[in-house]
Amino acid sequence: MKITSKKQLLTAFDRLFDRASNKLALDCTEEDRAEARRSFVNRFEYALEALDEIDLPAIPESAIRGMEESIDDLSPAQVAGYLATGPLVLQVQKLIKTLVARAADRLADMNLRASLIDSM
């Protein structure tokens, strides 16, 4: 059975979540782990759906081990930095969506104007 790119990414998430929770000495239940996975899936829903549309090579085991090792090497200050960054990233994403929508509106207005001028 062929494993999808989405499934590979979710499997990698599970491994990295376990590594991170161990690093932080968190006592996560299976329910906690499932909630974290659901949150990840919800946050990256469109990207995960796109992964099912394309055929990508497997994530190399060495790459996943490297990610796990990077979690092991995090200092307390880096962990705090990542935690502080999360909410800011969500806010920046909202701002970027707003900017893109405004730019699309301006472009539509410019195209409408140009078409009106051309029709005169």
Contacts of 56 (CB under 8 A, 6+ apart): 5, 8
* Residue-level pLDDT at 1: 44
Confidence category of residue 113, pLDDT binned at 50, 70, 90: confident
The parent domain of residue 26 ranges over 1-74
- Kindly state whether residues 19 and 37 are assigned to the same domain: yes
Nearest Cα residue to 58 out of 117, 2, 116? 2
**pLDDT tens digit sequence for 53-97:** 877 788 899 999 999 999 999 999 999 999 999 889 888 988 999
**pLDDT of 95-109, one tens digit each?**
999 999 999 999 988
pTM score, two decimals?
A: 0.70
Percent of the chain with pLDDT over 90: 59
Percent of the residues in the chain that have a pLDDT greater than 70, as a whole number? 98
Task: Count how many domains the chain has.
Answer: 2
Residue 59 and residue 28 in one domain: yes
Residues 107, 93 share a domain: yes
